Amino acid sequence: MKHNDNISELTEGNFQELVLDSTLPVLVDFTADWCPPCKMLAPIVADIAGAYVGQMRVASVDVDAYPDIQEAYGIMGLPTLILFQNGEPVKRIMGYVPRQKIEAQITPYLNIKA
């Protein structure tokens, strides 16, 4: 899976450090190569990653490669976005959702200075 510089690729080895121990909120994209809505959502997630550099991290996990992470967070359908804050999942967005709706749900958790 191709990612831009603003999206971290998550593994079982780095999930704790990059997501659970992060001081910034982390938006995690649970995805898979075979999932068409995931491919449709990917550019939106990339845009969001670029728009909020320094305010949150964006990461993605391939559920086929890391089914234990998928299972740990009860991911039933793809794509699923989960926003983690202080290591806790605080917002879950399932399915293909337009950028404005995603941002409306996650921005209340970010420290955005107007």
Q: Which residues are catalytic?
A: 35, 38
Query: What single letter denotes the amino acid at residue 6?
Result: N
CA-based radius of gyration for the chain: 13
Whole-number Å distance between alpha carbons of 4 and 49 = 9
Q: Which residues contact 60 (CB under 8 A, 6 or more apart)?
A: 1, 3, 7, 8, 9, 10, 28, 29, 30, 31, 45
Distances from the Cα of 105 to the Cαs of 27, 48, 77, 92, 96, in angstroms? 11, 12, 19, 9, 14
